Structure 1
Amino acid sequence: MASTDSFGARGTLQAGGAEHEIYRLSAVEGSEKLPFSLKVLLENLLRTEDGANVTADHIRALAGWDPSAEPDTEIQFTPARVIMQDFTGVPCVVDLATMREAVTELGGDPARVNPLAPAELVIDHSVIIDVFGTPDAFERNVDFEYGRNKERYQFLRWGQGAFDEFKVVPPGTGIVHQVNIEHLARVVMTRNGQAYPDTLVGTDSHTTMVNGLGVLGWGVGGIEAEAAMLGQPVSMLIPKVVGFKLTGEIPPGATATDVVLTITEMLRRQGVVGKFVEFYGEGVGAVPLANRATIGNMSPEFGSTAAIFPIDDETIRYMKLTGRPAEQLELTEAYAREQGLWHDPSREPVFSETLELDLSTVVPSIAGPKRPQDRIELTDAKSAFRKSIHDYTDDATGEASLTGVDESSDESFPASDAPALSFADDEAAPVVISAADGCDGRPTKPTTVRSETRGEFVLDHGAVVIASITSCTNTSNPSVMLGAALLAKNAVDRGLAVKPWVKTSMAPGSKVVTDYYERAGLWPYLEKLGYHLVGYGCTTCIGNSGPLSDEISAAVNEADLTVVSVLSGNRNFEGRINPDVKMNYLASPPLVIAYALAGTMDFDFDNQPLGTATDGTEVYLRDIWPSAKDVQDTIDSAIDQEMFGSSYADVFAGDERWRSLPTPEGKTFEWDPQSTYVRKPPYFDGMSPDPSPVTDISGARVLALLGDSVTTDHISPAGAIKPGTPAAEYLIENGVEKKDFNSFGSRRGNHEVMIRGTFANIRLRNQLLDAIVDGGVSGGYTRDFTQDGGPQAFIYDAAQNYSAAGTPLVVLGGKEYGSGSSRDWAAKGTALLGVRAVIVESFERIHRSNLIGMGVIPLQFPAGESASSLHLDGTETFDIAGITALNDGSTPRTVAVTATKTDGSTVEFDAVVRIDTPGEADYYRNGGILQYVLRGMLRS
């Protein structure tokens, strides 16, 4: 739809061999003062102004942005495109497929249901490191991946052919964010004769990696992504913008990872949640694009919505290197200069807050043992570990020498349907690690492990059992990836070997990494240390590290050892990496290999040798650390434009496995009634062409009474599927064995599994149970008042009973309800359980909007009131009157709530209606955003 163009901003720009319509920012007074990121938002509003959801007042509010004011103006941002990874993208495609069927049933053309904005999905979250340390690790891991995920992949392949503007990057290609910056990102979009900034939302928090390319985007939940795909705006507040000034250059010995860990620590301390971070200053031009991407990628870890670099010469250089056409380069520079989006280091925009980092002060660092913002200088790593270990064990101090004999061979466990394991083929060599020398109070519990393939060795607290080069944060960056490979070469040349208890893995961000490793001749050295290619995917960083070997896992659990993972990832939360591993540290790729050589976290790289060279001399980390010149010379000789061109020449085609998948055809999907991965959801069952009038709520029961700071992680299903739960019982009833349960993430396309896991997080406490269970019960339980006395029951089972009885449900909560990650199933599961209203003290903005998108009305207690102050204990029945006012086209400010207690007494209050925009009111009147869009398609 054409903009109403209240400011006369519409014009043309001749560039890249064509004339493009543009909306000039100079038409709006005050635009020149804005930071780069807000200029991008301003152009978005100018181009999408419709007089209703986007008005001239919204544009003036943004142009007149007050840097010091608290955000209070809501705007509607329409991203240019959507990017998804497979875990979170599958439900989006499921919903589109279901919409096609609904359109058909209502007499429409199913082919009309298509993404209205370009949407791309990269399959990168499903590969698990079952096999490692062997030349065939990649092929075998991909085989396992296809075996586990065949149903999902067939469905996505159907979607790739059935939908316009939807493309799938098959497994084994790369990590979504690296594929995005290397190939998918446009920087400046051209569509329907217009040129405008490339913006996006993605169904992964690390979408912000593309901020390094000057592209504004961030991670959202599936509901917002679906809305954007279907042409609907994303609701947001005009944010504060934090300016981060960079000066100086990274010193020798430090890496981009060290920079990003330093920045993460600084911004966490500053407090940037909900804000934009924007980098500026003379030092920006000296920051390579790969380093910018590494910094942008960590935005979720320091809490900002986005962390963006402006467009400049380095942006154009990288676009050229990665094979973007000359016309695109010309248009990008011309458009950025015309719109005042080209970085001018002499001009400092006004920011809400500012910080500054002299890059020359950065030192080698790690972060851990459980949060990415807990940076530790490498020189302090040993002492910091010895301090932290006491939080994980109370074992008595003792003198213990971690000594053993490595008798590893080139044998590996045989391939089977079970996870396979294999190890590096180093020759037998003695292993002596003085990890406990001068214990300084460090708890020890030396445990002997005997392995058929790796000989006998002793494990103790602090043993590094996983050392993984993984994740989008670092594997997009040639300086650290080639730095790691050169360190491996130097280590091998000096006769060093990885310790036998370390699970090693190399999961590059794209095939380009493999290409430049091959061209530089460095793969043999990595493989000699066990760093064979295991897959192109997120792997260890999202918990897909795969199992430890049976004997190591058994030793760790039987002796209750506190062992360690070291990974070049972005997240190291407790329990995330591997169930056997309690402490997790983030490190640069070279340091990952260094710790694999050391074998223990209880190690001082300055003063302890990594081993003995073939000539008998002791070898320290400084002896094998590659120089900055060596790294740069290798980058210059091993990476070129042709490499990117060939890797991405046919990126959507996939390998023979992908192309040979039996795939349904046709405009609508042939649902398999036996599938436990992909099921048709009931969102459109019984839907009419016109929405039914909204109704008040009467006789509702409380499904859950919750406290403050209940996050979407508490509500949304995630992680492993626990035996004995409703989700597990469903799978068993459908013929799935326990070993094949997989995870909630892999089954996000099956609503039957997901609703059974909603509100089931073990850390969720439903205070409704306090009345019958002393101290309350954690996890997915409630009281079922369809039964006499309201006994304890699984939330899912109770919801089913309420549904059968025709009883609507409400959820009561406290402050900051729905904070945390933006998870679609937190809202979808709530709606599918039969919840009609959520009444809390305050909402997190995105979850509030998501509830409306699923037809659930968000209500707030009166100011200063709460469930506790109103003496509500969850045993009441609720009547909510006044919702019907929405049928008149207006949104009531409050609705009347009456809670009737078991003795017949009542509590009455006026709840604030948190439907905040006209668009949200339309969504609610239609029963949800998908129904609203579908009816719009039918009308058009």
Structure 2
Amino acid sequence: MADSFATRSQLDVNGKSYTYFSLPKLGERFDLGKLPYSMKILLENLLRHEDGGMTVGKDHIEAVASWDPAAEASTEIAFMPARVVLQDFTGVPCVVDLAAMRDAVSRLGGTAGQINPQIPSELVIDHSVQVDVFGRADALDLNGRIEFERNKERYSFLHWGQKALENFKVVPPNTGIVHQVNLENLARVVMEREVDGELLAFPDTVFGTDSHTTMINGIGVLGWGVGGIEAEAAMLGQPSSMLIPQVVGFKLNGKLPEGATATDLVLTVTQMLRKHGVVGKFVEFFGDGLQHLPLADRATIGNMAPEYGATCGIFPVDAEALRYLRLSGRSEQQIALVEAYAKAQGMWHEAGQAPAQYSSVLELDMGDVKPSLAGPKRPQDRVLLTDMQANFQANVQSLVANRKPVRQEVRFDQEGGAQQQAETLAAKPVSRIRMQDRDVELTDGSVVIAAITSCTNTSNPAVMLGAGLLARNAAAKGLKAAPWVKTSLGPGSRVVTDYLQKAGVLDDLEKLGFFVVGYGCTTCIGNSGPLPEEVSKGIAENDLAVASVLSGNRNFEGRIHAEVKMNYLASPPLVVAYAIAGTVDIDLTNDPLGQDADGNDVYLRDIWPSNKEIGDTIAATVGPELFAQNYADVFKGDSRWNEIASPDSESFAWDEASTYIKNPPYFDGMTMDVGAISDIHEARVMGLFGDSITTDHISPAGAIKKDSPAGRFLQERGVQPADFNSYGSRRGNDDVMVRGTFANIRIKNLMLDGVEGGYTRYFGGGADEQMSIYDAAMKYKADGTPLVVFAGKEYGTGSSRDWAAKGTNLLGVKAVVAESFERIHRSNLVGMGVLPLQFKDGESAKSHGLDGSEVISVTGLQDGKSKTATVVARKADGSEVRFDVHVLLLTPKEVEYFRHGGILHYVLRDLAKRAA
């Protein structure tokens, strides 16, 4: 460990001595006073990992220390997180890859024991519970039973991983959502670790295999979501290459007004930052408004960094951070270390202090924030509560434009015989169904799902207790949820249930149908479960454009439920309100929610709790004892978890019959020889897509259709549709996942005329026929034909799903050409050996007249040396279209990974060399 700038120092805290790398000492040679908080963390990371230039050299440290806020990101540095946190949807394939690497490294001359996490790696099982049962007291127990039955293979595999892998721990199911567990328990803020006989203190930094890892930014921990591929490399001791980022400052003033929530604030912030443009940048919050912003509100804002597009959305360490650490039951020694270290390093924030220098600055007076929702299909599309009805009415038109006629008119002759039949489109079709012993009507805009879900909001006592108090006020006036609404409450941790019970409002939520259904992401991740059969039939009868309202962070097309076309993000209190209203075709600011026992109209304003009432309830109910009792033995699990059987072996014993866990093909036939980055010749277009193609579109997490390639595959192996589970739960089996790639029911391939779903045109052998993308890809693979994808702006937005890149690779796609990429997905594509190429500004597939029928070549790559390449598109008549594109291999390290065929191949060869 080099120390070119002599910054190694000692810090004594309560009689305990720590070694640390002092930024003030470095500040004697560089002006660090105006450096943003997040840049100081990067700088310390470089000081601590300086190794003479093999990975971190003196020049890297100097580049960050003399950071120019106006400069474009161009200088490459190596960043090494202190730990990794995983959830089970992305964590299972990570552990599958580690198990496969144990086999592969042995074949290359190494040993299985070389494959172990080198840094603390903690997996929280939170993505697998579904809302199968709702609206009843035993919903939690029954959903848990179903969860364990569905996922016993996966859970047995994770049991094996916990025993076989070092530095790897599993937080069992029924504990909480990964980001909330991270905030409430796993995060250290300042780490301590013994290295070569010294006790080091350094900032807690984290990579997570979920994009909302950024929630931890709220307490001053620098971390962000990465693909499982990049996380695995970090677990195996590989630094992550990144460009020194620009840092956008976001100044917060004032405080939230009466009636506004943290959800309204984060939706406002998201809209502002999306408009500003922060992809690939850090966002740092500052200003005197921080003193009015509780830690939970900060975590809510940090959580949604992926929605505003930033790498992170971070807050500094201050007195509020210490207060939260104490509230959540951290030890006094840990709290003292955090305070002492932050102050010693110049990372402590005080009200009124001079701000850092930023690349650009936005400013918001929180007093201007108004009640809002976002939707109906993107989190950045904020809509004021006052405008919701108009928003619905404007957006529903495109969803019903192609609806088939739904009313039959029959005319009779004089004798009463049918003369002719005519079909007409009803202006507002109505499906009459019977629910809860009542005859009710469903129509466009009916709310069929109202879910208090997602760590974004369930981590926040203000909005959770606000929902409970609103439910109490509603129940007192005799209001109930509409009978067609599927209501659910998915607390982010057991702490939330405890304080709702302590406040006496859990009973009130249950009176309105909001029973606890599980401790996991549930509806937000697409695990909303089936709608009641009567509701499904009513939707199908008239092809209704129904709605969901959820307190989540994602509402992309096809994500929440296959039958629900409109999805709105809202605060938990508004989720309860819309459950009562039963429709989004209503103005909650002026129209009554319902009537009380005396027939009087009840308005939202009549039942909305005041900020003081919410604050007083928090003070009376949320205390350290709740955290202490719920996290006393967080890795132990319940009887269901501890009864799971798993093998005891260094290498995993693969079961060829398993449809959940399978040895992936990435390392088949791998040798120690490194390849080259070759030009692409005579490729076909697999997909031609528009803007905002998300990772949900590319690799859906939800239900598997029985007539899809994945559904047919499972049925051929004896799995009945009732036992399909979800794509997310089957990410340990590449056979299922490659068949699910680009299989989202709402994805639109522009090569086809208005067709939704995972379809394309196959042109092999002179044919031109429509078929599923998977089937076409396999035909092309048999023909030896490489594939490319064309897309618009923001390609790969959304969750950091490694399978969106893995599936693309396994389909045979060699390159994706898009107008712009979301940060994580671009990195994942590189990590899986798929070349990301970007159109020049103002250019697109449309501007070049491409329709997907062309034969494509990509030339001029020069083994990764060139920053541009030429795309040649040959049309059926022999004419050619030529245009240059940017090659998005952004760092020398990425070029090296790509030559190896991907980051995991690079790591394997590196480990095998060490063994030799």
Give distance in 2, aligned partners of 1:236 and 1:869: 32
Counterpart of 1:928?
902
1:748-827 equivalences under 5 Å are 748-760=731-743, 779-781=758-760, 783=762, 785=764, 787=765, 794-797=772-775, 799-800=777-778, 807=784, 809-811=786-788, 813=790, 818-821=795-798, 822-827=800-805
Give distance in 1, aligned partners of 2:702 and 2:582: 29
Counterpart of 2:721?
738
1:140-219 equivalences under 5 Å are 140-192=142-194, 193-219=199-225
Aligned partners of 2:11 and 2:19 also within 8 Å? yes
Shift of 1:781: 3.4
Shift of 1:782: 5.0
Which of 617, 620, 632 is matched with 1:637 structurally? Answer: 620
Q: Secondary structure at the match of 1:32?
A: coil
Give distance in 2, aligned partners of 1:232 and 1:264: 32
Aligned amino acid, residue 105 of structure 1? R
Aligned amino acid, residue 289 of structure 2? G
Counterpart of 2:502?
519
Moved more, 86-95 or 580-589: 580-589
Counterpart of 2:415?
none
Give distance in 2, aligned partners of 1:933 and 1:35: 33
Shift of 1:209: 1.0
1:374 is aligned to 2:381: yes
Shift of 1:177: 0.9
Counterpart of 1:320?
326
Counterpart of 2:354?
347
Which of 609, 612, 620 is matched with 2:603 structurally? Answer: 620
Aligned pair in 2 of structure 1 residues 103, 265: CA closer, same or farther (>3 Å)?
closer
Shift of 1:593: 1.6
Aligned pair in 2 of structure 1 residues 782, 44: CA closer, same or farther (>3 Å)?
farther
* 1:839-868: CA deviation from partner (whole Å, max 9, x where unpaired): 778766654543443345667899999999
Moved more, 651-660 or 811-820: 811-820
Aligned partners of 1:389 and 1:443 also within 8 Å? no
Give distance in 2, aligned partners of 1:364 and 1:841: 34
Q: TM-score, normalised by structure 2?
A: 0.87
Aligned partners of 1:877 and 1:901 also within 8 Å? no
Moved more, 749-758 or 891-900: 891-900
Aligned partners of 1:704 and 1:874 also within 8 Å? no
* 1:548-572: CA deviation from partner (whole Å, max 9, x where unpaired): 2111221222133333322222223
Q: Secondary structure at the match of 2:469?
A: helix
Shift of 1:445: 3.9
Counterpart of 2:433?
449
Shift of 1:717: 5.3
Give the fraction of aligned pairs with identical amino acids, expressed as a percent: 57
Counterpart of 1:49?
50
Which of 814, 826, 850 is matched with 2:828 structurally? Answer: 850
Aligned partners of 1:708 and 1:817 also within 8 Å? no
* 1:206-242: CA deviation from partner (whole Å, max 9, x where unpaired): 1111111111112222212212212222233322222
Give distance in 1, aligned partners of 2:851 and 2:858: 14
CA RMSD, Structure 1 to Structure 2 (Å) = 3.6
Counterpart of 2:335?
329
Aligned amino acid, residue 432 of structure 2? T
Give distance in 2, aligned partners of 1:270 and 1:790: 43
Q: TM-score, normalised by structure 1?
A: 0.85
Counterpart of 2:285?
279
Aligned pair in 2 of structure 1 residues 531, 728: CA closer, same or farther (>3 Å)?
closer
Aligned partners of 1:859 and 1:911 also within 8 Å? yes
1:850-889 equivalences under 5 Å are 850-856=828-834
Aligned amino acid, residue 22 of structure 2? R
Aligned partners of 2:549 and 2:575 also within 8 Å? yes
Shift of 1:656: 1.0
Give distance in 2, aligned partners of 1:525 and 1:337: 45
Shift of 1:482: 1.3
Shift of 1:291: 1.0
Aligned partners of 1:691 and 1:927 also within 8 Å? no
1:339-738 equivalences under 5 Å are 339-345=345-351, 346-393=353-400, 444-451=428-435, 453-614=436-597, 618-688=601-671, 690-692=672-674, 694=676, 701-702=683-684, 704=686, 706=688, 711=693, 713=695, 715-716=698-699, 718-738=701-721
Shift of 1:20: 2.2
Aligned pair in 2 of structure 1 residues 382, 25: CA closer, same or farther (>3 Å)?
same
Shift of 1:175: 0.9
Aligned partners of 1:712 and 1:823 also within 8 Å? no
Give distance in 1, aligned partners of 2:854 and 2:37: 52
Give distance in 1, aligned partners of 2:454 and 2:652: 33
Q: Which runs of 5+ in 1 are unaligned?
A: 397-441
Q: Secondary structure at the match of 1:465?
A: strand
Give distance in 2, aligned partners of 1:72 and 1:342: 29
Counterpart of 2:410?
none
Q: Secondary structure at the match of 1:33?
A: coil
Aligned partners of 1:16 and 1:328 also within 8 Å? no
Shift of 1:139: 0.5
Shift of 1:76: 2.4
Aligned partners of 1:470 and 1:508 also within 8 Å? yes
Q: Secondary structure at the match of 1:152?
A: helix
Counterpart of 2:407?
none
Counterpart of 1:418?
none
Shift of 1:388: 4.4
Counterpart of 1:244?
250
Shift of 1:470: 1.1
Aligned amino acid, residue 551 of structure 2? S
Q: Which runs of 5+ in 2 are unaligned?
A: 404-425
Moved more, 897-906 or 617-626: 897-906
Aligned amino acid, residue 804 of structure 2? A
Aligned partners of 1:25 and 1:339 also within 8 Å? yes
Compare relative contact order (CA 8 Å, sep 6+) and give the higher one, 1 or 2: 2
Aligned partners of 1:808 and 1:836 also within 8 Å? no
Aligned pair in 2 of structure 1 residues 183, 559: CA closer, same or farther (>3 Å)?
same
Aligned partners of 2:309 and 2:822 also within 8 Å? no
